[in-house]
């Protein structure tokens, strides 16, 4: 070998070239993002005013899909859930769970009663209440009774009945947009 020759040193086995390393890292990042979006958290845009003031129209939130999908957590009274609308499963709705399987639900002039006890609902301001009534009903096994927080502007279980457990696919957990509303969903 002549002095001054610019022959590159031989590649060491086992070390990827910079281009392949970058591509591998990108592919791994995309794979992790897909797993998170498909199984853990999914971004969702709120459409409509039925959950005001907790959630407002066009707000962006993350829903937790993991807890309900793998049985880590049961759907509880008070959870804000995202589900396929029973009347048209191509649409998704977001509402608050009021009654769980086996509960009796009744509404007396806007006052919600679950198992013969009045439900305290600090998430429903007076200006969003209505004075409608609903006869007592028992929630069937595997079904949930849901209502929007903006009672006078919500299309919910009072109109179309209960939601099958299999239709509920996530719980609203975090608002990420707009920034002035950043925080946990109550």
Give the DSSP per-residue string, 45-87: E--SSTTTTTS-TT-EEEEE-HHHHTTSS---TT-EEEEE-TT
pLDDT at 37: 65
Largest Cα separation within the chain, whole Å, is: 97
pLDDT at 28: 85
Q: What contacts 24+ positions apart, CB below 8 Å, involve 53-57?
A: 53/123, 53/125, 53/128, 53/149, 53/150, 54/80, 54/96, 54/123, 54/149, 54/185, 54/186, 55/80, 55/94, 55/149, 55/172, 55/175, 55/185, 56/181
Q: What is the pTM of this model?
A: 0.80
Residues carrying an active site annotation: 50, 95
pLDDT at 22: 83
Asked whether residue 116 is assigned to any structural domain, the reply reads yes
pLDDT at 167: 96
Asked whether residue 2 is assigned to any structural domain, the reply reads no
Q: Which CATH number fits the domain that encloses residue 99?
A: 2.10.109.10
Q: CA-based Rg of the chain, rounded to a whole angstrom?
A: 25
How many domains would you assign to the chain?
Answer: 1
Residue 36 DSSP label: I
pLDDT at 21: 83
Asked whether residue 36 is assigned to any structural domain, the reply reads no
pLDDT in tens, 97-108: 999 999 999 999
CA atoms of 35 and 130, how far apart (whole Å):
42
Is 143:164 a contact under the CB 8 Å cutoff?
yes
Asked whether residue 59 is assigned to any structural domain, the reply reads yes
pLDDT in tens, 137-177: 999 999 999 999 999 999 999 999 999 999 999 999 999 99
Residue ranges in the chain modelled with pLDDT below 50: none
pLDDT at 66: 84
Residue 67 is part of which domain span? 42-184
pLDDT at 27: 85
Asked whether residue 67 is assigned to any structural domain, the reply reads yes
């Amino acid at each position: 070998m002549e002095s001054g020759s610019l022959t590159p040193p031989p590649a060491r086995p086992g070390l990827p070239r910079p281009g392949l390393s970058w591509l591998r890292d990108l592919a791994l990042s995309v794979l992790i993002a897909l797993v998170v979006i498909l199984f853990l958290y999914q971004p969702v845009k709120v459409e409509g005013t039925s959950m005001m003031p907790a959630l407002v129209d066009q707000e962006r939130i993350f829903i937790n899909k993991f807890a309900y999908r793998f049985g880590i957590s049961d759907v509880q009274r008070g959870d804000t859930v995202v589900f396929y609308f029973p009347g048209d499963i191509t649409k998704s709705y977001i509402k608050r769970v009021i009654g769980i399987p086996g509960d009796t639900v009744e509404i007396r002039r806007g006052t919600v009663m679950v198992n013969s006890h009045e439900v305290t609902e600090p998430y429903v301001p007076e200006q969003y209440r209505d004075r409608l009534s609903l006869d007592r009903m028992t929630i069937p096994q595997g079904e949930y009774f849901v209502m929007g927080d903006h009672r006078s502007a919500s299309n919910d279980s009072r109109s179309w009945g209960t939601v099958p457990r299999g239709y509920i696919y996530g719980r609203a957990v975090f608002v990420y947009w707009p920034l002035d509303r950043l925080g946990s969903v109550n």
